[in-house]
Amino acid sequence: MPLVDLDAIPQVPLDFINDDHREEARLLNELAEAVEALRAGRGDREAVVARFQVLFDHTRAHFAREEAAMQQSGFPPYPVHKGEHERVLAELAGEGRTFGQTGDADRLWGYVSKAVPAWFTNHIMTMDLMTARFVASRG
């Protein structure tokens, strides 16, 4: 069973953000599958590193698209939302580096299966929802 149910992602009133969230969740599920396989002794470290990188690149691009929309619409709490994106990107990069150095699949599993999905849902229902409502109201 996939980690995140793509059809249960909270929706916001901007299609491009919903599309990015769906892709983010899909890539997270692929990474989770690779980490699970590694933990079960039938995967390989390189596959995990590759999928982690794809997820990281998509996350950076997806955050940048939200930030551009916030700037174009003059969203007042832009610095708060952008600051949260920067914090998460730094955290992701740190987890990626740690895995690259240690190959600790149990640690990565905890991050990928618990911390990231919990953050993702919470972030969508708070900052992304507020942002989408504001941007959508500005046409």
Q: Residues interacting with Fe ion, by CB under 5 A? A: 66, 128
Tell me the closest approach of the beta carbon of residue 58 to Fe ion, in angstroms. Answer: 13
CA geometry: angle 45, 21, 134, nearest 5 deg: 145
Q: Considering the complex, state which of residue 95 and residue 128 has its C-beta at the smaller distance from Fe ion.
A: 128
Tell me the closest approach of the beta carbon of residue 17 to Fe ion, in angstroms. Answer: 8
Residue tagged 């190959």 (tokens):
103
Residue 35 in contact with residue 91, Cβ under 8 Å?
no
Q: Considering the complex, state which of residue 24 and residue 66 has its C-beta at the smaller distance from Fe ion.
A: 66
Q: Considering the complex, state which of residue 57 and residue 104 has its C-beta at the smaller distance from Fe ion.
A: 57
Tell me the closest approach of the beta carbon of residue 63 to Fe ion, in angstroms. Answer: 6
Residue of closest CB approach to Fe ion: 128
Residue tagged 């995990």 (tokens):
48
**Burial annotation 102-139 (CB, 10 A radius, 16+ → b, else e):** eeebeebeebbbeebbeebbebbeebbbebbebbeeee
Q: Considering the complex, state which of residue 87 and residue 114 has its C-beta at the smaller distance from Fe ion.
A: 87
Tell me the closest approach of the beta carbon of residue 13 to Fe ion, in angstroms. Answer: 14
